[in-house]
Amino acid sequence: MPRYRITIEYDGSPFVGWQRQKNGPSVQAAIETAIFALAQEEVRIRGAGRTDTGVHALGQVAHFDIEKDLADDTVRDALNAHLRPAPIAVVAAARATADFDARFSAVKRHYLYRIVNRRAPLALDARRAWQVPVPLDADAMHRAAQCLTGRHDFTTFRAAECQAKSPEKTLDRLDVRRAGEEIEIHASARSFLHSQVRSMVGSLKLVGEGRWREKDLAGALAAAERRRCGPLAPPDGLYLARVDYGGD
């Protein structure tokens, strides 16, 4: 039975998240419906990451098995035809080896968080970035962010409903960059805790405002207490940017 790997871009605004749920439309359910329309087979796809309500993706990866042996371009184009008008696009499709698993074969995940730092409301980027009206010091945010890289107990930046077995994670990268009125925060790790990126971004915003210093962020991390976390950044600005696999 052929296994297909697909790379997906989506606007998460109208969805309850990646994972199929009973309380609203999900990205997973929309793609599974498109696969059924293509192959007349009911399948359950597995994604590399379970993005939350309102979170977007530039490079989500998923895999599925179907009986039909189809050309890669046929799978991509047919799925996109059946997905219309949902804001989901299959940007690539390819045959994968039988042991490929979109979730468990991943070696690194990359997230992007977008802040638009201006007083005027967002028109084009509404629901696609976090509009912060007060001035932010991106350089201070970047310097402070480096205390979070490496292996730590990230309990402070972990959602209460997180199901991970351990709060310990290795954060490989946390960079903050300004380009005009936009601030980009790039985070990379093999895996993340539930709401970890949004929690870190909310705390970094306090640094950017001058309400926290680097030592306050480091102290919050060391406390390993959820109540020490800054405000949770909204989902609007978060994107699953890319997933890396060995051999890519």
Instruction: Give Dmax (Cα) for the chain.
Output: 58
Q: Is 139 a catalytic residue?
A: no
Structure tokens at 177: 């960059």
What does the chain come to in residues? 248
CA 32 – CA 19 distance, rounded (Å): 11
Catalytic residue (one of 52, 73, 99, 172): 52
Return the SS3 of 50.
coil
Closest CA to 134 of 106, 115, 157: 115
CA 242 – CA 115 distance, rounded (Å): 19
3-state secondary structure 177-238: EEECCEEEEEEEECCCCCCHHHHHHHHHHHHHHCCCCHHHHHHHHHHCCHHHCCCCCCHHHE
CB burial class (10 A; 0-12, 13-18, 19+) of residue 129? Answer: buried
CA 148 – CA 20 distance, rounded (Å): 32
Catalytic amino acids? Answer: 52
